[in-house]
Amino acid sequence: MSAFTSWPPDIAPDQVAELTHLATTYALSHALLYLPPHSSAPPPPAPTSAIHAPLSLFPTPIPRNLFARARRLQRAYNLLYARVTMDTAFLDEIMGEGGVADVDDFTGEIWRAWKGLREEGVAQHLHLGLFRSDYLLHQPVEGDEIGLKQVEFNTISSSFGALSQQVAGMHRHLQASTGYFDASPLLKPENFPPNDTVQGLVSGIAEAHKAYGVPSARVLFVVQPNERNVFDQRLLEYELFQRYKIYVVRRTFSELTAAASLSPARALLIPTIPPDASRSPIEISVVYYRAGYTPTDYPNPETYATRALLERSRAIQCPSLALQLAGGKKVQQVLASPGVLERFLSSEEGADEIRDSWMAMWGLDDDALPVPPAKPSADVHLVDGEPSGTREARVRAESLVLKPQREGGGNNVYRSAIRPFLDTLPARERRAWIAMELIRPPQGVGGYLVRAGDAQNGAVKGKVISELGIFGWALFGGEEKIVKDEEVGWLVRTKGQDVDEGGVAAGFSVLDSVLLVD
């Protein structure tokens, strides 16, 4: 029996209770935390309590060769998305006028801000990306060799790097302190890979700060109001100061709208708190966005104007407007089209392995498809005049996911919901959506999941699916368009087998880590 179908190993109820107690107390002791839901409006001005983040008691088995492949692929993906970002004509064609911007209001706002910046004149030609490439194990038919397929590539607010390091430490602690009660010979120290994601991500921010060239400047974290996932961000902040003596300031878009300004030389300036006319404002070297990836982050035109103001400055953006657009699902789909990936990456640079990591994708407005036409079943109602991409999405609905140009979880349309959705989707909006064949993870894998702040109800055992994320950073641009990049760590998110969406912050998944298996 494989490690997957026999996972997790059998343990007694009192052993589950002991592991749960050890896991949750470790989490509370090591900032593996969330802020609790607010019970009052407005929330308190400062946190007064915290709850542990959602977590898994056992790490997830990942084949050693596939884990190594995912880590190796990250450098190729870093380079690919850096080059895509610097190809203005390519992004304009896909995401600009005549493309997604015409039919998706949010994408349109981001693209028009970028277009306006180019017309004014760009003050900072360097871009910083803190990336995460997400994968699922893929086994089309039980008994087939297990492969690795990419879910998506994230270019903005790639979260949970810090908490993923903490949960990996928690699993190593459980192994060291209990041996997992000798439940499985796989649970030995050499199968728990190290995870130093915090230092890795921070090294990318520090590299950008150094490139900015003003040691006394600070890094700006743009955050959402009432952020519950604050500890994932604070651990990066603390590492920046402890390792590099770089200070961080945190501001929401509304705070920046009221106070951010540009100097005559287009330095980004933030007032001190409290404001003090006798003290110089804070100069910003790097703007790191943990907000700005969803339309709800821009409640009014002033917020979009603030994003444009930040981008007009000399501060290095993480991500820039262009890099945010490059992370769009439509870009991923176009890259998968024949010959397009090879425009940016050679075989020697990893193009073949990247292409092998993709499932079939197409646009709903496409007529040329990467799959042969499927025969519709009797219950499928086809609509005359629809493009081949929409027709094929109707026919193949039970094996597909539809994706819009959104981040943050909860935006996709799956399987049986696809046909009713297509019936109501305006024809002009099809170009904003892509269809992607569903990845088929190995079946029969189980886990013990402990929900955030719910340890009193114990760990819940069930069938699960786990998603592996690999982190990387890239600093690129300038006159010579040089790319510096690294692969810097990983995470695992685990969810119930019957749950389609996968976001931890959105409440679908728990944090997990890797157990290497052969």
Which of 78, 133, 159, 184 is flagged as catalytic? 159
**Residue 204 a catalytic site member:** no
Token pair in block for residue 233 = 């961000």
Which of 154, 320, 509, 513 is flagged as catalytic? 154
- In 3D space, the residue among 204, 464, 227, 487 whose CA is nearest the CA of residue 350 turns out to be 487
Query: What is the rounded CA–CA span in Å between residue 437 and residue 103?
Result: 24
| 247 close to 206: Cβ distance less than 8 angstroms | no
**Residue 159 a catalytic site member:** yes
> What is the residue whose two structure tokens read 């304009």?
92
- In 3D space, the residue among 513, 492, 466 whose CA is nearest the CA of residue 168 turns out to be 513
**Residue 154 a catalytic site member:** yes
Which of 132, 290, 307, 396 is flagged as catalytic? 132
List, as own/partner pairs, every contact residues 267-271 make where C-beta atoms lie below 8 angstroms and the sequence separation is at least 24, other chains included. Answer: 267/313, 267/314, 267/315, 268/220, 268/310, 268/313, 268/314, 268/315, 270/218, 270/220
Which of 71, 83, 149, 152 is flagged as catalytic? 152
Which of 71, 251, 329, 440 is flagged as catalytic? 329
> What is the residue whose two structure tokens read 């969810």?
495
Query: What is the rounded CA–CA span in Å between residue 133 and residue 358?
Result: 12
Which of 407, 437, 486, 487 is flagged as catalytic? 407
**Residue 394 a catalytic site member:** no
| 400 close to 393: Cβ distance less than 8 angstroms | yes
Query: What is the rounded CA–CA span in Å between residue 39 and residue 15?
Result: 34
Query: Going by C-beta distance under 8 Å and a sequence separation of 6 or more, which residues neighbour residue 163?
Result: 31, 32, 53, 231, 232, 235, 491, 511
Query: Going by C-beta distance under 8 Å and a sequence separation of 6 or more, which residues neighbour residue 97?
Result: 111
441 — phi, psi (to 5°)?
A: -70, 160
Which of 493, 495, 509, 513 is flagged as catalytic? 493
**Residue 403 a catalytic site member:** yes
Give exposure, 85-105, as e/b (b: 16+ Cβ within 10 Å): bbeeebbbebbbeebbbbbbe
**Residue 398 a catalytic site member:** no
**Residue 210 a catalytic site member:** no
Query: Going by C-beta distance under 8 Å and a sequence separation of 6 or more, which residues neighbour residue 201?
Result: 130, 161, 162, 236, 471, 473, 488, 489
In a 3-state reduction of DSSP, which class is residue 470?
strand
The residues annotated as belonging to the active site are: 132, 152, 154, 159, 329, 403, 407-408, 493
